[in-house]
Amino acid sequence: MIYFEYLHIRRSKQDHKELSGFKYKQVIVVRSDLQMSKGKTAIQTAHAAVLTSEKARKQRRRWWADWLKEGQCKVALKVDGLEELKKLNRRAEENELPSVLVEDRGLTEIPPGTTTCLGIGPAPKGAIDEITGDLPLL
């Protein structure tokens, strides 16, 4: 059985680092320059969450299993544009963290092939914070 913990997070820059009780987390980083609708953003972040979870399940099974058991902590963050997103992805890959850049198919709001967001983890909270700890909440 999996239990979910609901988090109440204040809206400051560093709050996502203060998730006590969690050893693992998943972070979804969204491009704010695209100005996607709330619905589009929700779908793109869902793609990132699923894709990086599957990557972790295959490559870092222990992290993935422990993350599932403790409640699947997720945090949504934002960056200003594509270059910043790519830089974060390179840092995640250099640190051997599961990460996936999500590209849209272009069926609704944005052109095909547009990179919309980045998923990192599940991975140890400290390892992710080294890469994304200074980013603002979405």
What would the pLDDT profile of 42-95 be if each residue is shown by its tens digit?
A: 999 999 999 999 999 999 999 999 999 999 999 999 999 999 999 999 999 999
Burial of 83 (0-12, 13-18, 19+ CB in 10 A): exposed
Give the global pTM.
0.86
Q: Is the pLDDT of residue 6 over 80?
A: no
**Separation CA 110–CA 95 (nearest Å):** 31
Two tokens, residue 87: 């830089």
